Structures are given as C-alpha cells and as structure tokens.
Amino acid sequence: MKLSIPLLLTLLVGALAADQDGFEPLFNGRDLSGWVNANCAPETWSVREGVIHCTGQPIGALRTERQYENFILELEWRHLTRGGNSGIFVWGTPIAAPGAPFLRGIEVQVLDHGYAEQYEKQTGRKPDWFTTHGDVFPIHGATMKPFGRHHGMRSFPSEDRSRPSPEWNHYRIVGSNGVLRLSVNGKEVSGGEDCNYRKGYLALESEGAPVEFRNLRIKELPSSSASLEMTAPMDLGWRTLFTGLDLRGWRTNSATAARWQAGGGRIALQAGEPDPAAVLWTEHEFGNAEFVLDCRPGKASAGEEMKVPALVLGGTASLSAVVKLTGVTLGSYQRFLVTVKDRVVVVKRGEELINRLSLPAESSARYRLGLRDTGAAVEFMNLYGREF
C-alpha cells in the first residue's frame, strides 16, 4: 500500500517519540491491528488517512486486544458533526454489559459543545448533570469516587478547555492503582479514585455521530498487582454475532420472515401467529461453543400468559434442540450463557443453572444457533459466540 508523505511523517515521529519517552503507539496509522470490534458493524470502525474513523452507528465499542492496569494514555479526538457524542472506556470489560451496548468501566466523556446547546434548547435550562469539557464517570456496575465538583459519581472538569467540532482535542489519561486523572488540552481537570475495575481493556466509543481519533500512544507504568475482584474478566475469544444494524450473518426461509427486524443494536420479533419454521438462523455453523445473549420478552396479549422465549440449536426447525430461556422478566433484559460441548447443552441465566439437554442424536455435528418464533414479541441484544 502506498503511504502519503504526511502519514509517513506521522509514523516516523511516533516511532522516535517511543524511543525518547517510553511511549508506544496504540494505533499503527494503517489498520486496526491490536483492536477488537466489541459489538459494532464491520464498517463502523475504519482507518482513513492515518486516523481511526467511526461512523457512530450502532452504539458500541472498539477495544484493545489486551488489558492494561497502570498507564499514561495520550490521544487526540474530534467530532465531525455538531453535538456529537462519544467516549473513551478505561478498565472495561471485553463484551458489553448486560442489557446495554456499552462496556462496563470508567468512561472519559468525548462530547461536542453542541450537545449541551441542544439540551438547553429542548429543555429550556442549562444542563446541571453533565458538561462537554471532559467528565469522568463509571458506567454499568463500575464504581469511582469522583474528584472535585461532581454529580453522583460523575466528576466535572475544573475548567472548560475542550474545543468545538471540527477542531482536534488532546486528552492525557493517567490511570494508576485505581486513580484516574484526565487532562484536556494540556491541563488536568477531572478524575476520581477507588475505581473498580482498575485493570481491564481500553476502548473507543461509537455513540450516534461520526468521530475520529489519532495519535494514540501509551506508556505502561509499574503494576500495583490489582486483585482478581478489581480486574475485568478476560476475553475468552468472544466475537459479536450481530452487526447492531441489520441481519447480515442471519437467515430465515419462513414466509413470516418480515416479523424479524434489526436495528438500534437489537434483533426484535414482532408478535403474531407463531410459525415453527420462522427460526432466525446464524449463517455460521458451530461445534463446541459458548454463546452469550441478552433477552427481553414483550408484553403478552390480554388474558394470555407470557410465552417463554427460546433458542434452537441445529440446522432445521424440526431437527433441533429447543433451549427455553426460562425465568425472564417482562420489560427487562436478562443475560444467558449457553454452552455446547460434545453435544451436551448447558444453559445459565446469569450464574444460575436453569437447563441441561442434548442435541438430537441424528443431527449434524455442526449446527447453527437460531432464535425461535414463539408468536410473542421479544428482543435480543449483545449476541456473542466463541468456539473452543
């Protein structure tokens, strides 16, 4: 691939900087080597002229392949549209938190000034629970004791220092022994301590608007031996099975296939007459594997009992093992883990074992994962798989 002169200069300067001050590039300027698409479409994240470009659709994250504990992270970002929203996740999980498109971790806000202006226009008041200058806060189960002025666990910046779209901004994030400090365009403004987790993955966020990142570099600091309880789960090879936008990678041959819809990070089945053939199958076949998914059933019709959502493992609707997702609650997502090993299927809701069954003896050794049509409305999100 032919590289432009500016890109060659950028890579050369980055290499020299690594030699001089101990920083290493976190992005090579050419491709996304070293990064994992946590739960977005293939086109959400790309490289353009030496920068990481994000379309903003769907909501999700691009994370590092490995975990980090103590470090200094420097990068530049800019929004391409007014009011754009994004973020940087620190000490995050490898996959999205249950019922959410975001990783559990500490978020360093990346927000354009137009977002606050739109909020004021819509509500008639200035926002008092967020700023556009570098808030730091824990999300989806993470915790942090914020520095300075704050709202709950959300640390507000001591100064307004960020620049509006399409200008570039510089962030310096220092994480050490559970303490996080953010400097915006050259001055420390926000952060917190007693962070949980304090070791995990770093990630860039897609949240509705196009955004770009460049000059990502990191300097690792000596370990403070974070405990297992303070360390995010390790990636076991999970890969998203859903683009968050459409049904690429899935198929169904049923005449009622139109009842399956996708978008906004969710696969939804509209209520209707149940069709046993209307299974939404993965195109990929699996052997020994594990699956993670979040399920939220819709409301039952008046006078009807709630129908239990179900998966199928097999190749056809008539030659498959039916996996009922029992114990779901109306209106809320719950996470299920389905493990298939040597044709034995183990199903957990959270940490609770809820079912154990076997694939049909006459079925193929390779099988597909399917979402079953029970006739009731249901939504699925955060669908992951890994073979072992």
Closest CA to 212 of 45, 11, 38: 45
- Residue 355 maps to a domain: yes
Asked whether residue 169 falls in the same domain as residue 309, the answer is no
Asked whether residue 29 falls in the same domain as residue 64, the answer is yes
- Residue 245 maps to a domain: no
User: For 101, phi and psi rounded to 5 degrees?
Assistant: -85, 0
Residues pairing with 335 in the sheet: 294
Do 142 and 192 contact (CB within 8 A), yes or no? Answer: no
Asked whether residue 63 falls in the same domain as residue 206, the answer is yes
- Residue 239 maps to a domain: no
Paired tokens of 341: 């090993």
- Residue 243 maps to a domain: no
pLDDT of residue 364 exceeding 60: yes
| CA 319 remoteness from chain centre | 34
Confidence of residue 370 (pLDDT cuts 50, 70, 90): very high
- Residue 240 maps to a domain: no
Asked whether residue 15 falls in the same domain as residue 95, the answer is yes
Q: What was the pLDDT predicted at 387?
A: 96
User: Where residue 154 sits, what CATH number does that domain have?
Assistant: 2.60.120.560
pLDDT of residue 220 exceeding 60: yes
What whole-number distance in Å separates Cα of residue 146 and Cα of residue 124? 28
What whole-number distance in Å separates Cα of residue 276 and Cα of residue 373? 6
Give the mean pLDDT of 163-171.
98
Residue 69's alpha-carbon distances to 148, 195, 238, 368, in angstroms, are 24, 11, 21, 38
- Tens digit of pLDDT for each residue in 76-119? 999 999 999 999 999 999 999 999 999 999 999 999 999 999 99
Asked whether residue 287 falls in the same domain as residue 183, the answer is no
Domain boundary at 233, 262, 288, which?
A: 233
Asked whether residue 154 falls in the same domain as residue 59, the answer is yes
- Residue 242 maps to a domain: no
pLDDT of residue 249 exceeding 50: yes
Confidence of residue 302 (pLDDT cuts 50, 70, 90): low
What whole-number distance in Å separates Cα of residue 66 and Cα of residue 298? 37
pLDDT of residue 258 exceeding 90: no
What whole-number distance in Å separates Cα of residue 338 and Cα of residue 269? 21
pLDDT of residue 4 exceeding 70: no
pLDDT of residue 14 exceeding 60: no
Model-level pTM? 0.92
Asked whether residue 13 falls in the same domain as residue 156, the answer is yes
Q: What was the pLDDT predicted at 20?
A: 63
- The structure tokens 């183990």 sit at 346
Confidence of residue 278 (pLDDT cuts 50, 70, 90): confident
> Counting beta carbons within 10 angstroms of the beta carbon of residue 35, is it exposed (0 to 12), middle (13 to 18) or buried (19 or more)?
buried
Asked whether residue 76 falls in the same domain as residue 137, the answer is yes
- Residue 145 maps to a domain: yes
Which is it for strands 105-111 and 85-92: parallel, antiparallel or unpaired? antiparallel
Omega of the bond leading into 58 within 30 degrees of 0 (cis) = yes
What whole-number distance in Å separates Cα of residue 254 and Cα of residue 241? 21
Total domains present in the chain: 2
Give the mean pLDDT of 248-256.
82
Q: Which residue has the higher pLDDT, 275 or 61?
A: 61
Neighbouring residues of 202: CB distance < 8 A, sequence distance ≥ 6: 26, 63, 64, 68, 73, 88, 89, 90, 91, 92, 218
Do 220 and 202 contact (CB within 8 A), yes or no? Answer: no
Asked whether residue 280 falls in the same domain as residue 207, the answer is no
3-state secondary structure of 119: helix
What whole-number distance in Å separates Cα of residue 373 and Cα of residue 371? 7
Q: What was the pLDDT predicted at 1?
A: 44
223-230 own/partner pairs: CB under 8 Å, 24+ apart: 223/69, 223/70, 224/69, 224/70, 224/176, 224/177, 226/69, 226/178, 226/197, 226/198, 226/199, 229/196, 230/178, 230/196, 230/197, 230/198, 230/199
Do 64 and 161 contact (CB within 8 A), yes or no? Answer: no
What value does the mean pLDDT of the chain take? 92
pLDDT of residue 11 exceeding 70: no
- Residue 244 maps to a domain: no
Q: What was the pLDDT predicted at 317?
A: 57
Asked whether residue 189 falls in the same domain as residue 274, the answer is no
Asked whether residue 74 falls in the same domain as residue 203, the answer is yes
Which is it for strands 154-155 and 260-263: parallel, antiparallel or unpaired? unpaired
> Within 13 Å of residue 365, how many CA atoms lie on the same side as its CB?
2
Domain boundary at 203, 233, 263, which?
A: 233
Domain boundary at 233, 264, 281, which?
A: 233
Paired tokens of 81: 């549209």
Give the mean pLDDT of 363-370.
88
Q: Which domain holds residue 36?
A: 5-233
- Tens digit of pLDDT for each residue in 314-335? 976 566 899 999 999 888 999 9
Asked whether residue 190 falls in the same domain as residue 222, the answer is yes
Give the mean pLDDT of 180-204.
98
- The structure tokens 């008041």 sit at 125
Give the mean pLDDT of 169-183.
98
